[in-house]
Structure 1
Amino acid sequence: MLAPTELPPLDALPGVSYIMPILNEADHVEEAVSTILAQDYPGQKEIVVALGPSTDGTTEVVRRMAAADPRIITVDNPAGDTPIGLNLAVARTTHAVVIRVDAHSELTADYTARGVAVLRETRAANAGGLMRARGRTAFQRAVARAYMSRIGLGGPAYHAGDEAQEAESAYLGVFRREVFDALDGFDETLRRGQDWELNLRLREAGGLVWFAPELQVTYWPRATWSNLVKQFYATGVWRAEIVRRYGARNSARYFAPPLLVLGVTASLVEAVLQLTGSTRSWPRFVRGFTSLVHVPSAAYAAGIVTAVWRADDAGIRERLWFGLVLPSMHVSWGAGFLRGLATGAASNRDRSR
C-alpha cells in the first residue's frame, strides 16, 4: 500500500502534523517551533513535541508555548530516546501528512507547502531536501562547512545534492501518514539511524523516497568540539549496529571512516617501530612493503590540507577549526563504528546534549 500507484491522492490542502522529539534544547527549541508556526501553509497544522527528561528548562519553555497556542501538543517521553519519542508523537497526530522536525533545525517559510506538493507530484511516501548547516561562531561555521563538504560527510544527497532524484533516505522527512500505519513506526531499539532504517523498510515495501532540493532546512551543529566528538562517536556506534543487522544493504561509504582509523593506527605503529629501530632486522623488501602503510594516511592528510587551503572564503580561525573538525568527525565516527561493530551498540547514548 506504499507503492506510488497504491497511495490514495492527497487532498488539495491536507492537514499537516509536525513531530519533534526533544531533550535539553532550551537554546534552540523556541526558534525551531516558531519557524513551524510561521509556515506559509493555509491547511490545518499541529505540532506534537515529545518531551524527554531535560535538565536545562526545555520542558518549561515548551509547556509555556503550548499554553499560549493550542496547535502545540506535548507528550512525555521519560526514556528520552529519539525513536520512542517519535513514535509517541506520531500516535498523537491527526493529519494525513507527518513532518519530522528537529530543535536544531529551522524550516524555510514555504517548506510545508513545497513538501506537500512534492508528495502529490511524485506520489512518494517520504520526501526530504537539503540540510543547510550554518554556524554562529568560527567553530560552528567550520562544522557547518564540514557538513556541506564532500570531504566532510560526502555521499548523501541531502548534504550537497542539487538534482531531484530517488533517494536511499531523507533528512528529517515529509511523510504520508500511511507509512506509520503500514510499518509500525520507528524501530525503538535504534537510538541513532532510525530514519535510515525506516526508509529501508519503506523502500522494501515498495514505497518511494524522494530527494527534492527545493526543500531546505537550516541546521545548527554542535557548538563545542567535545560535543561534536561525542555526537559523531555515538553516530558511528549506531551505524555499526545497523550494519550488524542489515549488512550489505548499507552503502559502502559508511566503511570509509573505520578504514581511516585502522590505516592511521597502522601508520602510527609502523612509525614507532621505525623510530625505535625495531625494523632494522627485517629484510629490506619487508621494510619497503610495510612502509607503504604510510601512503593512505599521507594522502588523507594532503586531502585535509587541500580542503583547508580551498576554504578561502573563510576567516583564519574558521579555517584552522575546519582543519581540526574534519579529522575529528572522521576519526570519532570511525572509532565508534569499530567499537559498535565489535560489541554492538548495547546501551550507548549520545551524550552531546
Structure 2
Amino acid sequence: MRNDPAPQASGPVPRAAARRDAPVEEAGSGVSFVMPVLNEQAYLRRAVETVLEQDVDGPVEVVLALGPSSDGTTELARQLATEDSRIVLVDNPAADIPVGLNAAIRASSHPTIVRVDAHSELAPGYTKRALATLARTRAGNVGGVMSAAGRTPFQRAVARAYNSPIGLGGGAYHGGAPEGEAESAYLGVMRRSVLEEVGLFDESIRRGEDWELNLRIRSAGYRVWFDPTLSVTYWPRESWPALARQFFATGTWRAELVRRYGARNSIRFFAPPALVLGALLAIVVGVMQLTGALTGGWALLASLVYVPLALYAVLIILVALGRGGGTGLRDKLWTLAVLPTMHLAWGSGFLVGFLRGAGDTVDTSRLGGRNTPLP
C-alpha cells in the first residue's frame, strides 16, 4: 500500500512547457482503479463488477473512497471487499470528490491509475484499449466517450441531453469527435508519475476537478488524448431536484475556474449564463411594456430581446421531438423540461459563482433521501 503524500496543486497554472512524453510502463506492471463513492447503493456493485471484469495484463486493485453514505452503500462496499481481496477501502469523511480521489491514489500501489465513477460502467476491453492508446501516444491522460443511459423516462431524457451537443455544449467526450488531443478527458487513464508531478487533484476545487487537473497536465507539456473507441456508460441523476442541484453546483464551480484561469476556459461555458441574463432582461422588458413604462418605438425595439429566447425555445422543441433517446411521449416531454433545467441551473450557478466565487458550494444531489427516481 502506498501512503507517501504527494504535493497539492496551488497557485496559478504555469505557462505550457515544451512538449513531453509520458513514460511507458512495463507490460504487466499493474493498474489501480480509483473510485469515489457516495450514496450509490443501486449502482456500486455493477460498477465494481465491470472494473474487475476488465482484461488487464498484470495485477489489479480497486480502491473505493467511501463518503458518509446513508443508503447502505458503505455496508455494500464492505461486503464487496470481503468477497474480493482486490478491493481496498479508504475513508473520505468530507465526501469531496478530489479529496477522495487523492486518498484512493495514495492508498494504491500500481504505476497506472484509472479513474472510475460509481455511477458508471466500463465497457468490455476499455482498460486494455486505453493502456494501448496511452503507450502509443505517450499522453499524460487518455479518456473516451461518456455514453449516458437511462432506466426511466426522466433519466433517459437526462441521458439524451448529456449525449447531445445542445445539452452539454459539445465537449469531445460527449459526442463523436475524432481521435486526437483534447482539452480534458472523461474519467481518465493516467501514469502515476505524471499525476504526482503535477500534484494530484486540487482539493480546493469541488466540481470541475478533472478539467483543472488536465489543464495542469497540459501546462506541464503532456498531451491529453481523446480516443472515441473508449466508452463508459454513465447513469445520470434520477430526479428533477437532484439534477437542478447538480447543475447549479457545477455552474458555480465553473465560474470559480473562470475567475482563477480566465481565457483558458472554452467560450462554450458562457452560453448558459448568457441565456439566464437574456431571460432576466426579457422579464424586465415585459414588465415595463405591460405597465406602460416602455411604449412606442422604444417598446418595439426592446421587443428584440424576445427573439433569442424564441429561437432557443424552438431549438429545445426540435431536439425534444427529434430522433434519439427514448421514443415515448413521456421521454420527449421530460426532454422539454430537462434541457432548460440544465441550462438555467448551470447558468444561474455560474452567475452566482462569478460574482462571489464558489466558496463552500457543494453538490448535494447525491445526499441521502434526495434522489428519488422519477418514473
Bin for the TM-score computed over the shorter chain = over 0.9
Task: Please name the residue that 2:303 is paired with.
Answer: 291
Identify if the C-alpha distance between structure 1 residues 112 and 307 changes in structure 2 by more than 3 Å, giving closer, same or farther.
Answer: same
Letter in 2 for 1:336: G
4+ long deviations beyond 4 Å: 2-6
Q: Paired residue for 1:238?
A: 253
Confirm whether residue 346 of structure 1 aligns to residue 370 of structure 2.
no
Consecutive unaligned residues of structure 1, counting only runs of 5 or more, are: none
Looking at structure 2, the residues matched to 197 and 162 of structure 1 have their Cα atoms a distance apart, in angstroms, of 21
1:204 to 216, 219, 223: 219
Distance 1:92 1:3, change over 3 A: farther
- CA distance in structure 1 between the partners assigned to 2:175 and 2:261 by the alignment: 26
1:212-291 to 2 correspondences below 5 Å: 212-280=227-295, 284-291=296-303
Alignment correspondent of 1:16: 31
Is the partner of 1:244 in helix, strand or coil?
helix
- Aligned partner letter, 1:163: P
Deviations 1:67-103 (A, max 9, x none): 1211000111111111100000010111111000001
For the residues of structure 1 that align with 2:21 and 2:156, how far apart are their CA atoms? 44
Q: Which residue of 1 aligns with 2:199?
A: 184
CA distance in 2, matches of 1:227, 1:243: 24
Question: Which residue identity is paired with 1:302?
Answer: V
- Does residue 140 (structure 1) correspond to residue 155 (structure 2)? The answer is yes
Give the match's secondary structure for 1:40: coil
Give the Cα separation in 2 of the matches to 1:18 and 1:31.
15
Q: Contact 2:23 / 2:191 at 8 angstroms: preserved in 1?
A: no
Moved more, 308-317 or 125-134: 308-317
3-state SS of 1:152 partner: helix
Find the residue that maps to 2:173 and give its secondary structure: helix
SS at match of 1:292: helix
Judge conservation of contact 1:4–1:124 (CA < 8 Å) in 2: no
Q: In structure 2, what is the equivalent of residue 65 of structure 1? A: 80
Q: Sort the Cα spacing of 1:64 and 1:4 in 2 relative to 1 into closer, same or farther, 3 A.
A: farther
Question: Aligned runs of 1:111-126 on 2, under 5 Å?
Answer: 111-126=126-141
Residue of structure 1 equivalent to 2:341: 328
Query: Residue in 1 aligned with 2:114?
Result: 99
Distance in structure 2 (CA, Å) of the matches to 1:60 and 1:85: 18
1:129 to 144, 151, 154: 144
Question: 1:3–1:208: 8 Å Cα contact kept in structure 2?
Answer: no
Deviation string for 1:188-219 (max 9, x for gaps)? Answer: 00000011000000000001100000110000
- For 2:293 and 2:21, how far apart are their aligned partners in 1? 67
TM-score, scaled relative to structure 2:
0.90
Secondary structure, in 3 states, of the residue corresponding to 1:19? Answer: strand
Stretch of structure 1 that moved more, 259-268 or 2-11: 2-11
Amino acid at match of 2:358: A
Residue 253 of structure 1 aligns with an amino acid whose one-letter code is R
- Write the deviation string for residues 302-323 of structure 1: whole angstroms up to 9, x where unpaired: 1111112213761111000001
Native 8 Å contact 2:22 2:222 kept in 1: no
- Secondary structure at the aligned position of 2:166 is classed as coil
- Alignment of 1:319 onto 2:335: no
What is the alpha-carbon distance in structure 1 between the residues aligned to residue 101 and residue 194 of structure 2?
Answer: 13
Tell me if structure 2 keeps the 8 A contact 1:311–1:319: no
Partner residue of 1:81 out of 92, 96, 108:
96
Q: Unpaired segments of 5 or more residues in structure 2?
A: 1-16, 367-375
**Amino-acid identity (%):** 55
Report deviation, 1:165.
1.2
| 8 A Cα contact 2:27 2:58, kept in partner | no
Contact (CA 8 Å) 1:150, 1:160: kept in 2 or not?
Answer: yes
Seen in structure 2, the aligned counterparts of structure 1 residues 311 and 271 have a Cα distance that, compared at 3 Å, is: farther
Give the CA deviation at 1:4: 6.7
Which residue number corresponds to residue 10 of structure 2? none
CA root-mean-square deviation = 1.4
